[in-house]
Amino acid sequence: MTSEGSTSIILEDLTQPLQAFRTHLENVRDRVVFQSPVPSLCKSEECIVGIDEAGRGPVLGPMVYGISYCVKSNDDTLKKLGCADSKSLTEEKREYIFTRLCGETEHCGWAVDIISPMHISNCMLRRQKYSLNEISHGSAIALIKLLQSKGVNVCEVYVDTVGPPEKYEEKLSKIFPNISIKVSKKADAIYPIVSAASICAKVIRDLTLKNWNFSEKVKINQENGWGSGYPGDPVTKTFLAENMDHVFGFPKIVRFSWSTADVILKENAAPVEWSDDEDNVDENTTTITSFFNSSNKPSTHIFFKDRNLETVNFL
């Protein structure tokens, strides 16, 4: 089982995990899940699981959800690998730990859900809104179900929260009643298994951005690139302004649903008028709601009229 509409790819050979991932980057279109092979020991022994994300806030690039798992009796391996909050580690250190994690093929595994900017924008801008929190929750739930479908013996799950931790924990516990769930703020700094998930997500997001294949003609600053990708970054704002098409908007790397992008579009793009189907409805057409109006109630039978009988709501 994978996230709705996503492609799932198992990276069988992880002797060089970064290179293995790069060879599959052309498959990253709307949404794709990459996963390591499941160790046989993880199917027979109880496993702890960690979940975290990378790239929630930027206006550029995908959001990546990572899930890591390890045989509970071998969880000290994660500490030996140096698993810590990915934001406190250098890029080189993260890649080093990720490579070593991929080498722990007997009792550890991982998966990442790469959610493209286009997918995020489509969800958040559709008529029936689907918020970023809902996208995040949906990804975490789908990743847990993915492990279960692969036979991983999941006994404990630790999650870095999105929104109020109590409500999120209650939500997950209802879906997975037989699993011990713990949702916490800054869980990646508390639980090494969540740190491992955070590192997986961050490494894969960074690789995706570095190797982004633009199908559009873009202007990129040779010195600063597109900056950090965060809305408040002046370099990122310049990238957005210089790469906005008057009619088609931004390249696919941009999240159209972010307010930063929306403001630039409103100020510089061609105005668009969207016609609503309701505006074209024939005036003589009977709407379905009209059948529920009080004026359409059946008339009182003559038997009741002759006897001056009326319905009442109380005595």
Detail the residues annotated as belonging to a binding site for a divalent metal cation.
52-53, 160
130: CB partners within 8 A, 6+ apart: 123, 124
Would you say how long the chain is, in residues? 315
Nearest Cα residue to 162 out of 187, 142, 195, 197: 187
137: CB partners within 8 A, 6+ apart: 162, 168, 171
Q: Residues comprising the binding site?
A: 52-53, 160
d(CA 238, CA 219): 10
192: three-class secondary structure by DSSP? helix
Residue 132 neighbours by CB distance under 10 Å: 18
Q: Are 35 and 10 in contact (CB under 8 A)?
A: yes
